[in-house]
Structure 1
Amino acid sequence: MDFGNLGFVVAGLVVGFVVGMTGVGGGSLMTPILLWFGINPATAVGTDLLYAAITKSGGVLVHQKNRNIDWKITGWLTLGSVPAVALTLVFLKYLNTDPQATNAIIKQALGVVLLLTALAIFFKRQLLAFAQKHAGDDYHLSNRNLNLLTIVTGAILGAMVALTSIGAGALGTVALFILYPFLATKRLVGTEIAHAVPLTLVAGLGHASMGNMDWHLLGFLLMGSLPGIYVGSHLSGRISDGVLRPCLAVMLVFIGYKLAF
Protein backbone atom coordinates (compact mmCIF):
# COMPACT_ATOMS: atom_id res chain seq x y z
CA MET A 1 0.00 0.00 0.00
CA ASP A 2 1.55 3.32 -1.07
CA PHE A 3 1.47 6.55 0.95
CA GLY A 4 -1.53 7.99 -0.95
CA ASN A 5 -3.71 4.94 -0.29
CA LEU A 6 -2.61 4.89 3.35
CA GLY A 7 -3.81 8.50 3.56
CA PHE A 8 -7.29 7.43 2.40
CA VAL A 9 -7.37 4.67 5.04
CA VAL A 10 -6.40 7.20 7.72
CA ALA A 11 -9.06 9.63 6.42
CA GLY A 12 -11.68 6.88 6.69
CA LEU A 13 -10.46 6.06 10.20
CA VAL A 14 -10.70 9.69 11.37
CA VAL A 15 -14.14 10.31 9.84
CA GLY A 16 -15.45 6.99 11.13
CA PHE A 17 -14.19 7.84 14.61
CA VAL A 18 -15.90 11.26 14.55
CA VAL A 19 -19.17 9.73 13.32
CA GLY A 20 -19.01 7.11 16.05
CA MET A 21 -18.34 9.76 18.70
CA THR A 22 -20.90 12.36 17.61
CA GLY A 23 -23.34 10.65 15.23
CA VAL A 24 -22.73 13.32 12.56
CA GLY A 25 -19.96 14.50 10.30
CA GLY A 26 -19.73 11.69 7.72
CA GLY A 27 -20.30 13.39 4.37
CA SER A 28 -19.61 16.86 5.74
CA LEU A 29 -16.05 15.77 6.57
CA MET A 30 -15.32 13.07 4.02
CA THR A 31 -16.11 15.01 0.83
CA PRO A 32 -13.96 18.06 1.77
CA ILE A 33 -11.13 15.70 2.78
CA LEU A 34 -11.31 13.99 -0.62
CA LEU A 35 -11.20 17.41 -2.31
CA TRP A 36 -8.10 18.22 -0.24
CA PHE A 37 -6.52 15.01 -1.57
CA GLY A 38 -7.12 16.35 -5.08
CA ILE A 39 -10.05 14.08 -5.96
CA ASN A 40 -12.37 15.47 -8.64
CA PRO A 41 -15.45 17.03 -6.91
CA ALA A 42 -17.97 14.87 -8.81
CA THR A 43 -15.95 11.70 -8.04
CA ALA A 44 -15.61 12.73 -4.40
CA VAL A 45 -19.38 13.14 -4.06
CA GLY A 46 -20.20 9.88 -5.86
CA THR A 47 -17.68 7.83 -3.85
CA ASP A 48 -18.78 9.38 -0.56
CA LEU A 49 -22.43 8.55 -1.28
CA LEU A 50 -21.81 4.82 -1.64
CA TYR A 51 -19.43 4.99 1.34
CA ALA A 52 -22.30 6.44 3.39
CA ALA A 53 -24.81 3.86 2.13
CA ILE A 54 -22.55 0.96 3.14
CA THR A 55 -21.54 2.35 6.55
CA LYS A 56 -25.10 3.32 7.51
CA SER A 57 -26.56 -0.05 6.50
CA GLY A 58 -25.12 -1.57 9.66
CA GLY A 59 -26.84 1.15 11.68
CA VAL A 60 -30.20 0.25 10.11
CA LEU A 61 -29.85 -3.38 11.20
CA VAL A 62 -29.11 -2.35 14.78
CA HIS A 63 -31.93 0.21 14.95
CA GLN A 64 -34.43 -2.21 13.36
CA LYS A 65 -33.49 -4.89 15.89
CA ASN A 66 -34.21 -2.37 18.68
CA ARG A 67 -37.43 -1.22 16.96
CA ASN A 68 -36.11 2.33 16.63
CA ILE A 69 -37.35 2.99 13.06
CA ASP A 70 -40.66 4.56 12.04
CA TRP A 71 -41.02 3.04 8.57
CA LYS A 72 -44.08 5.17 7.75
CA ILE A 73 -42.06 8.40 8.12
CA THR A 74 -39.17 6.78 6.24
CA GLY A 75 -41.55 5.98 3.40
CA TRP A 76 -42.88 9.54 3.11
CA LEU A 77 -39.32 10.93 3.15
CA THR A 78 -38.24 8.47 0.45
CA LEU A 79 -41.27 9.38 -1.67
CA GLY A 80 -39.84 12.90 -1.87
CA SER A 81 -36.10 12.21 -1.86
CA VAL A 82 -35.74 9.54 -4.55
CA PRO A 83 -37.50 11.54 -7.33
CA ALA A 84 -35.50 14.61 -6.25
CA VAL A 85 -32.30 12.58 -6.52
CA ALA A 86 -33.29 11.44 -10.02
CA LEU A 87 -34.02 15.01 -11.19
CA THR A 88 -30.75 16.31 -9.69
CA LEU A 89 -28.76 13.54 -11.39
CA VAL A 90 -30.45 14.34 -14.73
CA PHE A 91 -29.39 17.97 -14.22
CA LEU A 92 -25.80 16.90 -13.47
CA LYS A 93 -25.76 14.57 -16.47
CA TYR A 94 -26.87 17.46 -18.66
CA LEU A 95 -23.88 19.45 -17.36
CA ASN A 96 -21.55 16.47 -17.65
CA THR A 97 -20.47 17.64 -21.11
CA ASP A 98 -18.80 20.55 -19.32
CA PRO A 99 -16.82 19.06 -16.39
CA GLN A 100 -15.65 22.49 -15.21
CA ALA A 101 -19.24 23.75 -14.89
CA THR A 102 -20.25 20.56 -13.05
CA ASN A 103 -17.37 20.80 -10.59
CA ALA A 104 -17.97 24.53 -10.01
CA ILE A 105 -21.64 23.95 -9.16
CA ILE A 106 -20.81 21.01 -6.87
CA LYS A 107 -18.12 22.99 -4.99
CA GLN A 108 -20.44 25.99 -4.57
CA ALA A 109 -23.29 23.80 -3.35
CA LEU A 110 -20.90 21.97 -1.03
CA GLY A 111 -19.89 25.22 0.60
CA VAL A 112 -23.48 26.35 1.19
CA VAL A 113 -24.65 22.99 2.57
CA LEU A 114 -21.59 22.77 4.84
CA LEU A 115 -22.44 26.18 6.32
CA LEU A 116 -26.06 25.07 6.88
CA THR A 117 -24.84 21.82 8.45
CA ALA A 118 -22.51 23.74 10.76
CA LEU A 119 -25.43 25.93 11.91
CA ALA A 120 -27.58 22.84 12.49
CA ILE A 121 -24.83 21.22 14.58
CA PHE A 122 -23.98 24.38 16.54
CA PHE A 123 -27.59 25.30 17.34
CA LYS A 124 -28.99 21.77 17.50
CA ARG A 125 -29.70 21.90 21.23
CA GLN A 126 -31.53 25.25 20.95
CA LEU A 127 -33.53 24.05 17.92
CA LEU A 128 -34.59 20.86 19.64
CA ALA A 129 -35.51 22.74 22.81
CA PHE A 130 -37.61 25.19 20.77
CA ALA A 131 -39.41 22.35 18.98
CA GLN A 132 -40.20 20.57 22.25
CA LYS A 133 -41.33 23.79 23.94
CA HIS A 134 -43.81 24.60 21.19
CA ALA A 135 -44.88 21.02 20.46
CA GLY A 136 -48.16 21.62 22.28
CA ASP A 137 -48.96 24.92 20.58
CA ASP A 138 -51.72 25.45 18.04
CA TYR A 139 -49.51 24.84 15.02
CA HIS A 140 -50.48 21.15 14.86
CA LEU A 141 -50.84 19.96 11.28
CA SER A 142 -53.37 17.53 9.89
CA ASN A 143 -51.95 14.12 8.96
CA ARG A 144 -52.33 15.00 5.27
CA ASN A 145 -50.37 18.27 5.58
CA LEU A 146 -47.74 16.63 7.79
CA ASN A 147 -47.23 13.90 5.20
CA LEU A 148 -46.92 16.53 2.44
CA LEU A 149 -44.35 18.48 4.48
CA THR A 150 -42.41 15.26 5.09
CA ILE A 151 -42.35 14.56 1.34
CA VAL A 152 -41.13 18.14 0.66
CA THR A 153 -38.44 17.72 3.34
CA GLY A 154 -37.34 14.48 1.69
CA ALA A 155 -37.20 16.22 -1.70
CA ILE A 156 -34.99 19.03 -0.34
CA LEU A 157 -32.68 16.53 1.37
CA GLY A 158 -32.58 14.40 -1.78
CA ALA A 159 -31.48 17.31 -3.98
CA MET A 160 -28.82 18.40 -1.48
CA VAL A 161 -27.45 14.89 -1.00
CA ALA A 162 -27.34 14.08 -4.73
CA LEU A 163 -25.49 17.33 -5.41
CA THR A 164 -23.12 17.38 -2.44
CA SER A 165 -23.40 14.02 -0.55
CA ILE A 166 -24.16 16.13 2.56
CA GLY A 167 -27.39 16.92 4.40
CA ALA A 168 -28.98 13.60 5.36
CA GLY A 169 -27.37 13.60 8.83
CA ALA A 170 -27.48 16.81 10.85
CA LEU A 171 -29.97 18.68 8.65
CA GLY A 172 -32.24 15.66 8.26
CA THR A 173 -32.33 15.00 12.00
CA VAL A 174 -33.17 18.61 12.86
CA ALA A 175 -35.89 18.74 10.18
CA LEU A 176 -37.47 15.54 11.49
CA PHE A 177 -37.41 16.76 15.07
CA ILE A 178 -39.22 19.97 14.09
CA LEU A 179 -41.85 18.01 12.14
CA TYR A 180 -42.22 15.25 14.75
CA PRO A 181 -41.37 16.80 18.15
CA PHE A 182 -43.07 13.98 20.07
CA LEU A 183 -41.07 11.24 18.35
CA ALA A 184 -38.54 9.66 20.75
CA THR A 185 -34.98 10.73 19.94
CA LYS A 186 -33.76 7.16 19.41
CA ARG A 187 -36.60 6.54 16.91
CA LEU A 188 -35.88 9.86 15.21
CA VAL A 189 -32.20 8.92 14.73
CA GLY A 190 -33.10 5.42 13.56
CA THR A 191 -35.65 6.78 11.09
CA GLU A 192 -33.15 9.28 9.69
CA ILE A 193 -30.54 6.54 9.20
CA ALA A 194 -33.11 4.24 7.57
CA HIS A 195 -33.98 7.01 5.11
CA ALA A 196 -30.33 7.86 4.47
CA VAL A 197 -29.48 4.36 3.19
CA PRO A 198 -31.79 4.23 0.12
CA LEU A 199 -31.18 7.95 -0.46
CA THR A 200 -27.39 7.66 -0.57
CA LEU A 201 -27.52 4.30 -2.37
CA VAL A 202 -29.70 5.59 -5.24
CA ALA A 203 -27.68 8.81 -5.49
CA GLY A 204 -24.38 6.90 -5.33
CA LEU A 205 -25.38 4.41 -8.02
CA GLY A 206 -26.58 7.32 -10.17
CA HIS A 207 -23.21 9.02 -9.85
CA ALA A 208 -21.46 5.70 -10.56
CA SER A 209 -23.46 5.34 -13.79
CA MET A 210 -22.05 8.72 -14.87
CA GLY A 211 -18.51 7.64 -14.04
CA ASN A 212 -18.31 9.66 -10.82
CA MET A 213 -16.95 6.79 -8.77
CA ASP A 214 -13.57 5.45 -7.67
CA TRP A 215 -14.06 1.88 -6.43
CA HIS A 216 -10.49 1.47 -5.17
CA LEU A 217 -10.82 4.69 -3.19
CA LEU A 218 -14.10 3.45 -1.70
CA GLY A 219 -12.38 0.27 -0.54
CA PHE A 220 -9.56 2.13 1.21
CA LEU A 221 -12.02 4.49 2.93
CA LEU A 222 -14.04 1.55 4.25
CA MET A 223 -10.87 -0.15 5.53
CA GLY A 224 -10.37 2.80 7.84
CA SER A 225 -13.94 3.85 8.63
CA LEU A 226 -15.35 0.54 9.87
CA PRO A 227 -12.87 0.15 12.76
CA GLY A 228 -13.04 3.93 13.30
CA ILE A 229 -16.81 3.84 13.82
CA TYR A 230 -16.46 0.84 16.13
CA VAL A 231 -13.88 2.56 18.37
CA GLY A 232 -15.64 5.93 18.26
CA SER A 233 -18.98 4.38 19.23
CA HIS A 234 -17.43 2.74 22.28
CA LEU A 235 -15.79 6.02 23.35
CA SER A 236 -18.95 8.06 22.79
CA GLY A 237 -19.76 10.08 25.88
CA ARG A 238 -16.17 10.11 27.18
CA ILE A 239 -15.66 13.59 25.72
CA SER A 240 -18.31 16.24 26.36
CA ASP A 241 -20.77 16.71 23.50
CA GLY A 242 -20.63 20.41 24.32
CA VAL A 243 -16.96 20.40 23.30
CA LEU A 244 -17.08 18.08 20.28
CA ARG A 245 -20.01 19.62 18.43
CA PRO A 246 -18.85 23.27 18.53
CA CYS A 247 -15.38 22.19 17.35
CA LEU A 248 -16.93 20.23 14.48
CA ALA A 249 -19.22 23.17 13.62
CA VAL A 250 -16.35 25.68 13.55
CA MET A 251 -14.34 23.39 11.28
CA LEU A 252 -17.29 23.01 8.88
CA VAL A 253 -17.83 26.80 8.81
CA PHE A 254 -14.19 27.28 7.80
CA ILE A 255 -14.35 24.60 5.08
CA GLY A 256 -17.76 25.76 3.83
CA TYR A 257 -16.66 29.38 3.61
CA LYS A 258 -13.54 28.38 1.63
CA LEU A 259 -15.61 26.35 -0.85
CA ALA A 260 -18.51 28.80 -1.23
CA PHE A 261 -16.52 32.02 -1.39
Structure 2
Amino acid sequence: MDLKYSIAGFAVGAIVGLTGVGGGSLMTPLLVLLFGIHPSVAVGTDLLYASITKAGGTIAHNIRGTVDWRITAKLAAGSLPAAALTLFVLAKWFPGGIGGAANVISVALGIALLLTAVALIFRKKIQSWSLSHHGGERDPRLTAVLTVITGAVLGVLVSISSVGAGALGVTALFFLYPRLPAVRIVGSDIAHAVPLTLVAGIGHWLLGSVDWMLLGSLLIGSLPGIWLGSHVSAKVPERFLRPALACMLVLVGTKLIAR
Protein backbone atom coordinates (compact mmCIF):
# COMPACT_ATOMS: atom_id res chain seq x y z
CA MET A 1 0.00 0.00 0.00
CA ASP A 2 1.22 3.50 -0.83
CA LEU A 3 0.55 6.21 1.76
CA LYS A 4 0.36 9.04 -0.79
CA TYR A 5 -2.51 7.33 -2.60
CA SER A 6 -4.32 6.74 0.69
CA ILE A 7 -3.96 10.43 1.56
CA ALA A 8 -5.32 11.36 -1.88
CA GLY A 9 -8.18 8.91 -1.36
CA PHE A 10 -8.98 10.50 2.00
CA ALA A 11 -9.03 14.01 0.48
CA VAL A 12 -11.28 12.98 -2.42
CA GLY A 13 -13.52 10.98 -0.09
CA ALA A 14 -13.95 13.99 2.17
CA ILE A 15 -14.92 16.20 -0.78
CA VAL A 16 -17.37 13.57 -2.03
CA GLY A 17 -18.91 13.41 1.42
CA LEU A 18 -19.17 17.21 1.54
CA THR A 19 -20.60 17.78 -1.95
CA GLY A 20 -22.09 14.51 -3.12
CA VAL A 21 -20.16 14.78 -6.39
CA GLY A 22 -18.90 11.46 -7.74
CA GLY A 23 -15.32 10.55 -6.97
CA GLY A 24 -14.48 10.05 -10.66
CA SER A 25 -14.68 13.80 -11.24
CA LEU A 26 -11.83 14.24 -8.76
CA MET A 27 -9.99 10.96 -8.38
CA THR A 28 -9.24 10.18 -12.03
CA PRO A 29 -7.77 13.60 -12.95
CA LEU A 30 -5.81 13.59 -9.68
CA LEU A 31 -4.24 10.23 -10.56
CA VAL A 32 -3.44 11.37 -14.11
CA LEU A 33 -2.18 14.90 -13.49
CA LEU A 34 -0.60 14.67 -10.02
CA PHE A 35 0.69 11.10 -9.87
CA GLY A 36 1.30 10.47 -13.58
CA ILE A 37 -0.82 7.32 -13.71
CA HIS A 38 -1.61 6.20 -17.28
CA PRO A 39 -5.12 7.47 -18.18
CA SER A 40 -6.50 4.00 -18.95
CA VAL A 41 -5.23 2.60 -15.62
CA ALA A 42 -6.57 5.64 -13.72
CA VAL A 43 -10.00 5.20 -15.31
CA GLY A 44 -10.15 1.42 -14.86
CA THR A 45 -9.04 1.54 -11.23
CA ASP A 46 -11.38 4.41 -10.41
CA LEU A 47 -14.35 2.55 -11.91
CA LEU A 48 -13.93 -0.38 -9.53
CA TYR A 49 -13.27 2.09 -6.70
CA ALA A 50 -16.61 3.78 -7.51
CA SER A 51 -18.54 0.51 -7.68
CA ILE A 52 -17.34 -0.48 -4.19
CA THR A 53 -17.94 2.90 -2.54
CA LYS A 54 -21.35 3.43 -4.16
CA ALA A 55 -22.55 -0.06 -3.26
CA GLY A 56 -22.71 1.08 0.38
CA GLY A 57 -24.68 4.16 -0.64
CA THR A 58 -27.13 2.02 -2.61
CA ILE A 59 -27.77 -0.24 0.37
CA ALA A 60 -28.43 2.79 2.58
CA HIS A 61 -30.82 4.38 0.07
CA ASN A 62 -32.63 1.08 -0.53
CA ILE A 63 -33.20 0.59 3.20
CA ARG A 64 -34.76 4.07 3.33
CA GLY A 65 -36.88 3.31 0.26
CA THR A 66 -35.33 6.13 -1.80
CA VAL A 67 -34.42 4.11 -4.91
CA ASP A 68 -36.81 4.03 -7.87
CA TRP A 69 -35.76 0.70 -9.37
CA ARG A 70 -37.82 1.26 -12.53
CA ILE A 71 -35.73 4.32 -13.38
CA THR A 72 -32.54 2.47 -12.44
CA ALA A 73 -33.48 -0.43 -14.74
CA LYS A 74 -34.19 1.91 -17.67
CA LEU A 75 -30.84 3.65 -17.22
CA ALA A 76 -29.04 0.31 -17.01
CA ALA A 77 -30.81 -0.94 -20.16
CA GLY A 78 -28.98 1.78 -22.07
CA SER A 79 -25.74 2.11 -20.12
CA LEU A 80 -24.56 -1.50 -19.75
CA PRO A 81 -24.63 -2.39 -23.48
CA ALA A 82 -23.13 1.01 -24.30
CA ALA A 83 -20.30 0.46 -21.79
CA ALA A 84 -19.47 -2.98 -23.22
CA LEU A 85 -19.53 -1.67 -26.81
CA THR A 86 -17.36 1.33 -25.92
CA LEU A 87 -14.68 -0.83 -24.32
CA PHE A 88 -14.76 -3.20 -27.31
CA VAL A 89 -14.18 -0.29 -29.68
CA LEU A 90 -11.36 1.13 -27.54
CA ALA A 91 -9.66 -2.27 -27.34
CA LYS A 92 -9.98 -3.16 -31.04
CA TRP A 93 -9.63 0.13 -32.90
CA PHE A 94 -6.54 1.62 -31.25
CA PRO A 95 -2.95 0.39 -31.71
CA GLY A 96 -1.86 -1.19 -28.43
CA GLY A 97 -5.44 -1.74 -27.29
CA ILE A 98 -6.97 0.46 -24.61
CA GLY A 99 -3.50 1.54 -23.49
CA GLY A 100 -3.04 3.20 -26.88
CA ALA A 101 -6.13 5.35 -26.41
CA ALA A 102 -4.52 7.61 -23.80
CA ASN A 103 -5.13 10.82 -25.75
CA VAL A 104 -8.78 9.97 -26.43
CA ILE A 105 -9.31 9.11 -22.76
CA SER A 106 -7.67 12.35 -21.58
CA VAL A 107 -9.77 14.52 -23.90
CA ALA A 108 -12.96 12.62 -23.02
CA LEU A 109 -12.15 13.04 -19.33
CA GLY A 110 -11.62 16.78 -19.80
CA ILE A 111 -14.93 17.18 -21.66
CA ALA A 112 -16.75 15.13 -19.01
CA LEU A 113 -15.33 17.38 -16.28
CA LEU A 114 -16.51 20.52 -18.10
CA LEU A 115 -19.99 19.02 -18.48
CA THR A 116 -19.98 18.09 -14.79
CA ALA A 117 -19.10 21.68 -13.87
CA VAL A 118 -22.03 22.95 -15.96
CA ALA A 119 -24.32 20.41 -14.31
CA LEU A 120 -23.21 21.53 -10.84
CA ILE A 121 -23.88 25.19 -11.56
CA PHE A 122 -27.14 24.92 -13.52
CA ARG A 123 -28.80 21.83 -11.97
CA LYS A 124 -31.58 23.74 -10.22
CA LYS A 125 -32.24 25.94 -13.24
CA ILE A 126 -32.49 22.86 -15.47
CA GLN A 127 -34.98 21.28 -13.07
CA SER A 128 -37.03 24.48 -12.89
CA TRP A 129 -37.09 24.83 -16.69
CA SER A 130 -38.28 21.25 -17.13
CA LEU A 131 -40.95 21.68 -14.47
CA SER A 132 -42.26 24.94 -15.98
CA HIS A 133 -42.28 23.65 -19.57
CA HIS A 134 -43.52 20.11 -19.00
CA GLY A 135 -45.16 20.35 -15.60
CA GLY A 136 -44.25 16.77 -14.93
CA GLU A 137 -46.78 15.69 -17.61
CA ARG A 138 -44.39 14.48 -20.34
CA ASP A 139 -45.51 11.35 -22.22
CA PRO A 140 -44.39 8.39 -20.03
CA ARG A 141 -43.31 6.39 -23.10
CA LEU A 142 -41.15 9.27 -24.33
CA THR A 143 -39.67 9.69 -20.84
CA ALA A 144 -38.82 5.99 -20.74
CA VAL A 145 -37.07 6.19 -24.14
CA LEU A 146 -35.17 9.32 -23.11
CA THR A 147 -34.11 7.59 -19.87
CA VAL A 148 -32.66 4.64 -21.82
CA ILE A 149 -30.86 7.05 -24.17
CA THR A 150 -29.51 8.95 -21.16
CA GLY A 151 -28.21 5.66 -19.78
CA ALA A 152 -26.46 4.91 -23.08
CA VAL A 153 -24.75 8.33 -23.10
CA LEU A 154 -23.63 7.83 -19.49
CA GLY A 155 -22.37 4.34 -20.37
CA VAL A 156 -20.08 5.74 -23.07
CA LEU A 157 -18.81 8.63 -20.92
CA VAL A 158 -18.23 6.54 -17.81
CA SER A 159 -16.43 3.75 -19.69
CA ILE A 160 -14.02 6.20 -21.31
CA SER A 161 -13.51 8.69 -18.48
CA SER A 162 -15.06 7.20 -15.29
CA VAL A 163 -16.96 10.53 -15.01
CA GLY A 164 -20.68 11.07 -15.54
CA ALA A 165 -22.52 8.66 -13.30
CA GLY A 166 -22.79 11.28 -10.51
CA ALA A 167 -23.51 14.91 -11.29
CA LEU A 168 -24.41 14.38 -14.96
CA GLY A 169 -26.74 11.48 -14.20
CA VAL A 170 -28.51 13.36 -11.42
CA THR A 171 -28.93 16.47 -13.58
CA ALA A 172 -30.42 14.43 -16.43
CA LEU A 173 -32.87 12.78 -14.04
CA PHE A 174 -33.90 16.16 -12.61
CA PHE A 175 -34.74 17.19 -16.20
CA LEU A 176 -36.62 13.98 -17.03
CA TYR A 177 -38.42 13.60 -13.68
CA PRO A 178 -38.81 17.16 -12.32
CA ARG A 179 -41.55 16.17 -9.86
CA LEU A 180 -39.63 13.27 -8.33
CA PRO A 181 -38.20 14.07 -4.85
CA ALA A 182 -34.49 14.88 -4.97
CA VAL A 183 -33.60 12.10 -2.55
CA ARG A 184 -35.18 9.49 -4.87
CA ILE A 185 -33.33 10.91 -7.87
CA VAL A 186 -30.02 10.74 -6.01
CA GLY A 187 -30.79 7.24 -4.70
CA SER A 188 -31.77 5.96 -8.16
CA ASP A 189 -28.66 7.47 -9.73
CA ILE A 190 -26.35 5.92 -7.12
CA ALA A 191 -28.04 2.53 -7.57
CA HIS A 192 -27.53 2.76 -11.34
CA ALA A 193 -23.88 3.74 -10.92
CA VAL A 194 -23.04 0.46 -9.17
CA PRO A 195 -23.71 -1.98 -12.06
CA LEU A 196 -22.42 0.54 -14.62
CA THR A 197 -19.09 1.15 -12.91
CA LEU A 198 -18.78 -2.56 -12.07
CA VAL A 199 -19.32 -3.69 -15.66
CA ALA A 200 -17.03 -0.98 -17.04
CA GLY A 201 -14.44 -1.70 -14.32
CA ILE A 202 -14.45 -5.44 -15.03
CA GLY A 203 -14.04 -4.64 -18.71
CA HIS A 204 -10.99 -2.50 -17.95
CA TRP A 205 -9.62 -5.28 -15.71
CA LEU A 206 -9.96 -7.85 -18.52
CA LEU A 207 -8.13 -5.40 -20.79
CA GLY A 208 -5.33 -5.06 -18.21
CA SER A 209 -5.99 -1.49 -17.07
CA VAL A 210 -6.65 -1.95 -13.34
CA ASP A 211 -4.00 -1.52 -10.62
CA TRP A 212 -5.22 -3.54 -7.62
CA MET A 213 -2.59 -2.18 -5.21
CA LEU A 214 -3.60 1.36 -6.16
CA LEU A 215 -7.26 0.45 -5.65
CA GLY A 216 -6.60 -0.87 -2.15
CA SER A 217 -4.57 2.21 -1.20
CA LEU A 218 -7.35 4.55 -2.39
CA LEU A 219 -10.06 2.67 -0.49
CA ILE A 220 -8.11 2.71 2.77
CA GLY A 221 -8.09 6.51 2.64
CA SER A 222 -11.41 7.29 0.96
CA LEU A 223 -13.82 5.32 3.15
CA PRO A 224 -13.00 7.26 6.34
CA GLY A 225 -12.81 10.44 4.24
CA ILE A 226 -16.37 9.96 2.97
CA TRP A 227 -17.57 9.30 6.53
CA LEU A 228 -15.91 12.49 7.81
CA GLY A 229 -17.10 14.64 4.90
CA SER A 230 -20.70 13.42 5.29
CA HIS A 231 -20.73 14.42 8.95
CA VAL A 232 -19.21 17.86 8.29
CA SER A 233 -21.35 18.65 5.23
CA ALA A 234 -24.27 20.02 7.25
CA LYS A 235 -22.00 22.75 8.65
CA VAL A 236 -20.57 23.95 5.32
CA PRO A 237 -22.78 26.17 3.08
CA GLU A 238 -23.46 24.42 -0.25
CA ARG A 239 -23.63 27.75 -2.10
CA PHE A 240 -19.88 28.12 -1.55
CA LEU A 241 -18.86 24.51 -2.10
CA ARG A 242 -20.46 23.77 -5.46
CA PRO A 243 -19.26 26.90 -7.35
CA ALA A 244 -15.72 26.40 -6.01
CA LEU A 245 -15.77 22.74 -7.05
CA ALA A 246 -17.17 23.65 -10.48
CA CYS A 247 -14.34 26.17 -11.04
CA MET A 248 -11.77 23.54 -10.10
CA LEU A 249 -13.32 21.03 -12.53
CA VAL A 250 -13.21 23.61 -15.35
CA LEU A 251 -9.51 24.25 -14.73
CA VAL A 252 -8.64 20.56 -14.55
CA GLY A 253 -10.81 19.68 -17.54
CA THR A 254 -9.23 22.39 -19.66
CA LYS A 255 -5.74 21.18 -18.71
CA LEU A 256 -6.58 17.60 -19.68
CA ILE A 257 -7.98 18.64 -23.06
CA ALA A 258 -4.90 20.79 -23.77
CA ARG A 259 -2.37 18.04 -22.90
TM-score where L is the length of structure 2: 0.95
Encode CA deviations 1:191-222: one digit per residue, 9 max, x unaligned. Answer: 00000000000000000000000000000000
Matching residue within 224, 231, 254 for 1:234:
231
CA distance in 2, matches of 1:92, 1:234: 40
CA distance in 2, matches of 1:9, 1:32: 16
Shift, 1:183, TM fit: 0.7
Matching residue within 18, 23, 27 for 2:20:
23
Partner of 1:105: 104
User: What is the Cα-based RMSD across aligned positions, in Å?
Assistant: 1.4
Partner of 2:188: 191
Partner of 1:117: 116
**How many positions carry a matched residue from both structures?**
256
Matching residue within 53, 56, 78 for 1:55:
53
Give unmatched runs, 5+ long, in structure 2.
Answer: none
Is 1:66 the equivalent of 2:72?
no
Is 1:165 the equivalent of 2:181?
no
8 Å CA contact retained: 2:40, 2:99: no
Shift, 1:96, TM fit: 5.4
Partner of 1:222: 219
SS at match of 2:234: coil
Shift, 1:144, TM fit: 1.8
Partner of 1:145: 142
CA distance in 1, matches of 2:95, 2:14: 34
Partner of 1:81: 79
Q: What is the identity, as a one-letter code, of the residue corresponding to 2:132?
A: K
8 Å CA contact retained: 1:71, 1:191: yes
Q: What is the identity, as a one-letter code, of the residue corresponding to 1:97?
A: G
Encode CA deviations 1:59-118: one digit per residue, 9 max, x unaligned. Answer: 001000000000011001000000000110001111252567400100011111111111
Q: What is the identity, as a one-letter code, of the residue corresponding to 2:36?
A: G
SS at match of 1:50: helix
8 Å CA contact retained: 2:51, 2:198: yes
8 Å CA contact retained: 1:18, 1:25: no
SS at match of 1:167: coil
Is 1:179 the equivalent of 2:151?
no
Shift, 1:239, TM fit: 0.9
Shift, 1:145, TM fit: 1.6
Partner of 1:128: 127
8 Å CA contact retained: 1:146, 1:179: yes
CA distance in 2, matches of 1:77, 1:25: 17
8 Å CA contact retained: 2:98, 2:207: no
Indicate the percent of aligned positions where both proteins have the same amino acid: 53
8 Å CA contact retained: 1:135, 1:182: no
TM-score where L is the length of structure 1: 0.95
CA distance in 2, matches of 1:106, 1:160: 10
Shift, 1:25, TM fit: 4.0
Encode CA deviations 1:6-35: one digit per residue, 9 max, x unaligned. Answer: 110011101110111110041010001100
CA separation of 1:13/1:96 partners in 2, compared to 1, >3 Å: closer, same or farther?
farther
CA distance in 1, matches of 2:56, 2:95: 33
CA distance in 2, matches of 1:79, 1:98: 26
Give unmatched runs, 5+ long, in structure 1.
Answer: none
Encode CA deviations 1:121-179: one digit per residue, 9 max, x unaligned. Answer: 12223222323333427xx4322221111100000000000000000100000000100
8 Å CA contact retained: 1:26, 1:52: yes
Partner of 2:253: 256
